[in-house]
Amino acid sequence: MTHDATQLPTTILGYPRIGPRRELKKALEALWAGRATQEETEAAAVELRARTRRRLNALGLRAHDASIPSAASYYDQVLDAAVAVGAVPPRFADVVGQDGRVDLVGYSTIARGRGEDAPLEMTKWFDTNYHYLVPEIGPDTQFRFADDRAVREFREALEDGFLTRPVLVGPVTFLLLSKPADGSPEGFSPLQRLADLVPVYAQILRALAEAGATWVQLDEPGLVSDTLTAADAKAIHAAVQETYAALTAVEGRPALLVAAPYGDLGEFLPTLAATDVEALALDLVKGAVPSAPVAGLETKAVLGGVIDGHNIWRTDLVQALGKLEALRPLAASVAAGTSTSLLHVPHDVEDEPNLPAQLKGWLAFADQKVAEVVTLAAALEDPATAADALEASARARRERLEAPGVVRPEVRERLAGLTPADARRSDYDVRRAAQDAVLALPPLPTTTIGSFPQTGEIRRARAAWAKGELSDADYVAAMRAEIDRVVALQEELGLDVLVHGEPERNDMVQYFAELLDGFAVTQNGWVQSYGSRCVRPPILWGDVTRPAPMTVEWATYAASRSAKPVKGMLTGPVTILAWSFVRDDQPLGDTARQVALALRDEIADLEAAGIGVVQVDEPALRELLPLKAVDQKAYLDWSVESFRLATAGAADATQIHTHLCYSEFGEVIGAIDGLDADVTSIEAARSRMEVVPQIAQAGFSRGIGPGVYDIHSPRVPSAEEIEELLNIAVGSISPRHLWVNPDCGLKTRGYAETEASLRNLLAATRAVRGSL
């Protein structure tokens, strides 16, 4: 330790990396498309990092005390850690240079794959919409301090006049998030390699110290989940002790801040507190201030994560300060901070010219949250100086609760009048008979998930209409022309239940957010989803109502073009919530029920217009599942109930479909059954029908369509291959229940491969039908 570290700087755990105008996304995609050189892309990123430092400095983080985090990434922080410690899978060994460095092209190759070499798998980052790349660790992975980007970027900032705080994924979390490399022996877990990994982190700390770093942040969110078995927990306690005993023993090292975002540390807090690290960052939004002294904490600086890094609402700073005050007696010193990195929120509310002024006053994006942290830091020093700001924040919260549109009496009354019967349909057998009578579908009915390829032409028409450059009539004509094409294609291919193709939808959530009251959409509110992919979540701020039908015209137009049934297409309440920033002034379940009622009305209108099949997509059902086992039941109860509320107004003869986009069914299989949809389509082709035995075992006894065509790549599956998958399905699922469909929507595909693939899907279906 080279300096006094009993006091943490005022700080945030991380900041958006993609740039206010998605500069990094554009620079990366230019590189991938061959429109930019590595040097040009690096230069754009260097400039963005410099701008970010200046911005954070202007917002009140200091330039010289490690207050500004060095937490940029070209794609993903977990991939950064993998590359830093030399954990590059053998199939990509050639992208690592002599000096251990991985250049941007090589780094992109690991992230995105090449030819037969699959990229690292991608999966959800804790309870966020961010996705990280999963390192592959085997018994033979050779850890070494390979890529020194963290050191170089620290130096780059220093040369620019900023002493920053490098941020790395901590060693325990790194291994917990990794998966065993292919060919690892039975029973191997990456955590078993800890003793080989920690010395590499020690080396990185030494190198950072030599470069002048005074503080380093190690993120250990892997410690906040309690879904671990007792045996796992024991191994993790030991891992934490071993890791931080070794890292704190490194001579001349920087001070260490171990951050535990995304939840409460629970039983791991005492373990971390007993180590010799200088500081801990606790999530006091999801987690709580410890109710009693924790041995060891009294010698540490603690960053109280009281500003929510996850949502976009202005903080009640009076309440936040209260938490920090409660923490004070338990720690050597307390600093104000964010609960998580600000990676999950857009940059700046002031960059939203179209949001209503009143709504803006309630919001805090990343820049506003930095300012909140700075205000709280001042209040911790001297409450009097910040009194006005504190009071203003509390007032904004109160005003929001009383503002028009936040509470709509008619919505509240309707919700209050609901009874359990409103969420219940007739028995499946009764519905099935009614549906069979009107739909008269063949065995193994074929359908698609909804969207058809979104051609450049469609995107351009939508954009031109949004800008006012295309008249309503021309826009409708363009969409109808596309619907004609999609319906004609499906007829020609011989599909049984048709779709309109969703050409009018920019995004399956934003489309509905724009049409429902209670939502606002942003112009620049981009948030990184993974790599260069960004989303712009709508803001659900008030009670939800549906001023007019949302999908009926498109669905009925499509239906008028065919004698076959056409599915109405809606996005379910859970997915709408999951992919929006949702109000925090009432339970999520209440908000979900409001959305459900709007969808229920939409379904009634679709039925009245003659649509007999309606699909309500819930691809995010599993995504919102809480990390903590204790919270899961309540979540599953309200999420299932809201889906049922949305759909249970449908007549027996109306066939309700749902679609879910993942194949790991395990923890939610009961919930999926509970949705009580007549037909459920799920992703399955990518995992070669792994989920089919699970479905059979769970006794799922309604329509089910395990996907037989992986839509994630342009590859055209052969009819034989699809037939094979279908035969696996027929082996465990009764033909009475089996549907045939792709894994997901086709909007990211091109027409050529879509047509060829669907043709094969139908040929395979005919072959299997013949053998029944």
With CA atoms as reference, report the closest residue to 73 among 94, 119, 104: 104
313 is in an annotated binding site: no
267 is in an annotated binding site: no
Report CA-CA distances (Å) from 241 to 204, 269, 292, 678.
19, 12, 22, 51
Report CA-CA distances (Å) from 338 to 49, 303, 333, 369, 678.
20, 8, 16, 8, 44
Closer to Zn ion at the Cβ: 89 or 619? 619
Closer to ligand GLN at the Cβ: 321 or 497? 497
> Shortest Cβ distance from residue 157 to ligand GLN (Å)?
39
Please give the single-letter amino acid code of residue 668. Answer: V
744: contact with ligand GLN by CB under 6 A: yes
Of 569, 640, 729, 762, the one binding ligand GLN (CB under 6 A) is 569
CA distance 20 to 41: 16
526 is in an annotated binding site: no
From 207-215, 383-391, 669-677, 744-752, give the range in contact with ligand GLN by CB under 6 A.
744-752
Of 217, 271, 451, 594, the one binding ligand GLN (CB under 6 A) is 451
619: contact with Zn ion by CB under 5 A: yes
> Could you tell which of Zn ion, ligand GLN, none binds residue 450, using a CB distance below 5 to 8 A set by kind?
ligand GLN
> Could you tell which of Zn ion, ligand GLN, none binds residue 104, using a CB distance below 5 to 8 A set by kind?
none
Please give the single-letter amino acid code of residue 246. Answer: A
449 is in an annotated binding site: yes
> Shortest Cβ distance from residue 519 to ligand GLN (Å)?
19
CA distance 436 to 381: 71
Closer to ligand GLN at the Cβ: 497 or 744? 744
> Could you tell which of Zn ion, ligand GLN, none binds residue 12, using a CB distance below 5 to 8 A set by kind?
none
354 is in an annotated binding site: no
Instruction: Report the relative pairing of strands 527-530 and 533-535 from DSSP bridges.
Output: antiparallel
> Shortest Cβ distance from residue 681 to ligand GLN (Å)?
9
Q: Please provide residue 567's backbone torsions phi and psi, each rounded to the nearest 5 degrees.
A: -80, 130
Closer to ligand GLN at the Cβ: 171 or 450? 450
DSSP three-state, residue 538:
coil
Of 661, 675, 725, 738, the one binding Zn ion (CB under 5 A) is 661
Of 255, 297, 449, 758, the one binding ligand GLN (CB under 6 A) is 449
Residues 658-697 that bind ligand GLN (CB under 6 A): 659, 661
Burial of 155 (0-12, 13-18, 19+ CB in 10 A): middle
Closer to ligand GLN at the Cβ: 109 or 575? 575
Closer to ligand GLN at the Cβ: 138 or 450? 450
> Could you tell which of ligand GLN, Zn ion, none binds residue 17, using a CB distance below 5 to 8 A set by kind?
none
Q: How far apart are the first and last CA of the chain?
A: 73
With CA atoms as reference, report the closest residue to 213 among 258, 155, 257: 155
106: contact with ligand GLN by CB under 6 A: no
617: contact with ligand GLN by CB under 6 A: yes
567: contact with ligand GLN by CB under 6 A: no
Closer to ligand GLN at the Cβ: 374 or 570? 570
CA distance 762 to 753: 14
> Could you tell which of Zn ion, ligand GLN, none binds residue 747, using a CB distance below 5 to 8 A set by kind?
ligand GLN
> Shortest Cβ distance from residue 380 to ligand GLN (Å)?
44
462: contact with ligand GLN by CB under 6 A: no
Q: Which pair of structure tokens corresponds to residue 258?
A: 């171990």
- The four Cα atoms 743, 533, 584, 313 give a dihedral, to 10 degrees, of -170
- The four Cα atoms 225, 67, 25, 126 give a dihedral, to 10 degrees, of 0
Q: Which pair of structure tokens corresponds to residue 364?
A: 């805090």
CB nearest ligand GLN: which residue? Answer: 745
Of 302, 306, 508, 682, the one binding ligand GLN (CB under 6 A) is 508
290: contact with Zn ion by CB under 5 A: no
Count of chain residues binding ligand GLN (CB under 6 A): 13
* Residue that has been written with the tokens 């209440």 in this structure: 590
From 80-88, 388-396, 700-708, 739-747, give the range in contact with ligand GLN by CB under 6 A.
739-747
CA distance 283 to 341: 11
Please give the single-letter amino acid code of residue 509. Answer: V
From 280-288, 449-457, 692-700, 763-771, give the range in contact with ligand GLN by CB under 6 A.
449-457
Instruction: Report the relative pairing of strands 517-520 and 539-545 from DSSP bridges.
Output: antiparallel
> Could you tell which of ligand GLN, Zn ion, none binds residue 480, using a CB distance below 5 to 8 A set by kind?
none
Catalytic residue among 3, 64, 344, 712: 712
Residue 712 annotated among the catalytic residues of the structure: yes
504 is in an annotated binding site: no
Count of chain residues binding Zn ion (CB under 5 A): 3
CA distance 313 to 163: 30
533 is in an annotated binding site: yes
136 is in an annotated binding site: no
DSSP for residue 87: -
From 74-82, 149-157, 350-358, 740-748, give the range in contact with ligand GLN by CB under 6 A.
740-748
With CA atoms as reference, report the closest residue to 740 among 496, 558, 565: 496
CA distance 499 to 486: 8
Whether 509 contacts 534, CB under 8 Å = no
Give me the 60-79 binding string for Zn ion, x by CB under 5 A, dash otherwise: --------------------
Of 175, 486, 745, 768, the one binding ligand GLN (CB under 6 A) is 745
Closer to ligand GLN at the Cβ: 76 or 618? 618
In sequence order, which residues have a C-beta less than 8 Å from that of residue 201 and are 6 or more positions away? 85, 168, 171, 218, 243, 247
645 is in an annotated binding site: no
Closer to Zn ion at the Cβ: 166 or 503? 503
Q: Please provide residue 348's backbone torsions phi and psi, each rounded to the nearest 5 degrees.
A: -150, 120
619: contact with ligand GLN by CB under 6 A: yes
744 is in an annotated binding site: yes
* Residue that has been written with the tokens 């995609």 in this structure: 29
Closer to ligand GLN at the Cβ: 450 or 503? 450
With CA atoms as reference, report the closest residue to 104 among 23, 169, 43, 166: 43
691: contact with Zn ion by CB under 5 A: no
492 is in an annotated binding site: no
From 152-160, 446-454, 539-547, 577-585, give the range in contact with ligand GLN by CB under 6 A.
446-454
Q: Which pair of structure tokens corresponds to residue 351?
A: 């960059």
Give me the 709-748 binding string for Zn ion, x by CB under 5 A, dash otherwise: -----------------------------------x----
Write out the DSSP string of 401-450. HHSBTTB-HHHHHHHHT--GGGG----HHHHHHHHHHHH-PPSS-BB--S
State which H helix or E strand residue 211 sits in.
Answer: helix 194-211
Whether 495 contacts 569, CB under 8 Å = no
Whether 663 contacts 704, CB under 8 Å = no
Residue 751 burial (CB count, 10 A): 14
CA distance 180 to 188: 7
567 is in an annotated binding site: no
Burial of 529 (0-12, 13-18, 19+ CB in 10 A): middle
Binding residues: 22-25, 124, 129, 449-451, 502, 533-534, 579, 617, 623, 659, 661, 683, 744
Residues that bind Zn ion (CB under 5 A): 619, 661, 744
Binding residues for L-homocysteine: 449-451, 502, 617
**Which residues are known catalytic residues?**
712
Binding residues for 5-methyltetrahydropteroyltri-L-glutamate: 22-25, 124, 129, 533-534, 579, 623
Binding residues for Zn(2+): 659, 661, 683, 744
Residues that bind ligand GLN (CB under 6 A): 449-451, 502, 508, 569, 617, 619, 659, 661, 744-745, 747
